[in-house]
Structure 1
């Protein structure tokens, strides 16, 4: 199902007329985004950890949750069944959980030193990456939203290697949550991970420079490539051993995009603006997913 993109903010010269921009009103940094119910989304202020809430039909998103001091907000995912928002805590080494119905902080978990970068949700719970360690963290969550326990899953194989300052980054799941896919920034690659054993294997796509957040639907993975200002749409083969870049999505409004949320045939992509540290305006850019 395709969603009609808003036109409240005009596209700039040379940009696709379908691209629209939603301002995170008052944000001084940004990094993560999660799809909520319907056309609602949540986005994070990286340095404060505050959470913004918006709608892809509107031109602005407003501050929704004031996070306790000392937090950060990187990748995030929302669970409609429990109203919980799971947030990767960056340099804090922690994961944070918020109840979006009450706006309360309901969980804080110390994972490991490093940089807790992204999160995905499966039937087994919430899975977090650490850009400084070759391991994943699974936070068990009951159907009722009870946060039941934390497990560290050491990776095996090529995804566990740490050749650069930023390694594991984005994470998603495919095949009914039976397989995880992780993005590895230093290796410019995607890897499958068996959630039971931690065994990893390369998905042969060719190099994916500046790979950051990823999101999957079926056998399609959208790969955000931050400093390239683009999102590559990758079609996976049947056994997930390889994938082909079928499209490269760009926008004149991209300024170091980091993560994306999917709404029908629309991608909502957040601008981190790492090239402009003093930026006082941060946005979500809506582009066609082109699936």
Structure 2
């Protein structure tokens, strides 16, 4: 099945697309606890070398000690063993960027493909299972993705809209005309042109709404999945989330990557996600414009996209681990 177009869906079903994701998302991201040591007793690497010229952006970790990263260059997907740092390409790219990506419990990677829309990839074989092109104004920049048991939600950095792929029984992928297009309203103030607006996406701690960071404005929004109405999350006197990128929720703790700041802000949110306070900031000398974040065994893993370095086929790239 290869759907190619999306269309609006009735608002009545949108809340259901979010339901059921509160516990599952955190469990899939965090994995088991305990110190990060291999069976040999050797510590797991804290800096992992990726293929030269790979240009990583998105990262996802499943139930085991393996991370998947997408390439902004040719869209390939790289699988790396977090215990050893060894990895390989598991899906050859289509020649267009892969941005955010998430792995579900059925071994499928949901990949944001920037201007090329969305594709779903079998993580084992690398085969493209489905592809979707949102029916919306151009330009588009499908940037990041959040999974619930009932849907995959995507941001568009160039358009004030979210997309959702409703999942059927047994996780069945939707047909083209079942793709949801949810315009953003309320407090959302879209910067015009090819400016990065909506970027990272996750859920609220109570699982009833979505959280989206507006990168250029440095603002975190709570989004009603039924209506698209957004409300700015009240973070008190905390600094703006400038260049906010990937989001990771762990309980009520939200990690917000700020790429060109080489930092991760750690927020403690209210249950409904309407307010929060900044608790600390994580930095590391090994950061070089990290973009997204995943967690496993008490560590955060961040790919260095190196946006301030001109990419070449021999440019080195790394994945950095820091304590969560």
Task: Please say whether Structure 1 and Structure 2 have the same fold, judged by a TM-score greater than 0.5.
Answer: yes
Taking a change above 3 Å as real, the CA distance of residues 60 and 26 of structure 1, as seen in their structure-2 partners, is: farther
Deviation at 1:19, TM superposition (A): 7.5
Residue 152 of structure 1 deviates from its aligned partner by: 0.2
Return the match for 2:111 from 62, 79, 87: 87
- The runs of at least 4 aligned residues of structure 1 exceeding 4 Å deviation read none
Q: Which residue is 2:187 aligned to?
A: 158
C-alpha displacement at 1:144, in angstroms? 2.4
Is the contact made by 1:84 and 1:145 (CA closer than 8 Å) also made in structure 2? no
Task: Using the TM superposition, give the Cα deviation of residue 209 of structure 1 relative to its aligned residue in structure 2, in angstroms.
Answer: 1.2
Tell me what 1:105 maps to. Answer: 128
SS at 1:227's partner residue?
Answer: helix
- The CA distance in 2 between the partners of 1:2 and 1:181, in whole Å, is 26
Aligned partner (choices 103, 122, 136) of residue 78 of structure 1: 103
1:137 aligns with 2:160: no
Residue 221 of structure 1 corresponds to which residue in structure 2?
A: 254
Deviations 1:112-162 (A, max 9, x none): 432111000013310000111111000112242321131100111123532
3-state SS of 1:262 partner: strand
Equivalent position of 2:86 in the other structure: 60
Q: Which has the higher helix share?
A: 2
Q: Which residue of 1 aligns with 2:65?
A: 39
CA distance in 2 between counterparts of 1:121 and 1:239 reads 18
Distance 1:18 1:233, change over 3 A: farther
1:246 to 276, 279, 291: 279
Q: 1:123 to 1:190 in 2, by over 3 A?
A: same
CA contact (8 A) 1:19 1:251 kept: no
What runs of 5+ residues in structure 1 fail to find an aligned partner?
Answer: 8-16
Q: Would you say 1:117 and 2:104 are equivalent positions?
A: no
Please name the residue that 2:25 is paired with.
none
Give the TM-score taking structure 1 as reference length. 0.89
Counterpart for residue 294 of structure 2: 261
SS in 1 for 2:79: strand
Separation in structure 1 between the aligned mates of residue 60 and residue 279 of structure 2, nearest angstrom? 24
Q: Which residue of structure 1 aligns with residue 323 of structure 2?
A: 288
CA deviation after TM superposition for structure 1 residue 105, in Å:
0.6
- How far residue 163 of structure 1 moved from its aligned partner, in angstroms, is 5.5
SS at the partner of 1:31? strand
Q: Aligned equivalents of 1:169 and 1:107: distance in 2?
A: 23
Per the TM alignment, residue 18 of structure 1 is displaced from its structure 2 partner at its CA by 9.1
What is the aligned partner in structure 2 of residue 14 from structure 1? Answer: none
User: Is the contact between residue 205 and residue 272 of structure 2 (CA under 8 Å) also seen in structure 1?
Assistant: no
TM-score of the two chains, using structure 2 as the length reference: 0.80
**Is residue 43–residue 51 contact of structure 1 (8 Å, CA) maintained in 2?**
yes
In the TM superposition, residue 59 of structure 1 has moved relative to its aligned partner by 2.1
Name the CA shift for 1:230/1:66 in 2 (closer, same or farther; >3 Å). same
Counterpart in the other structure of 1:177: 207
Task: Mark the runs of 5 or more structure 2 residues left unpaired by the alignment.
Answer: 1-31
Q: Which has the higher contact order (CA 8 A, sep 6+)?
A: 2
- Normalized per residue, the structure richer in strand is 1
| 1:11 match | none
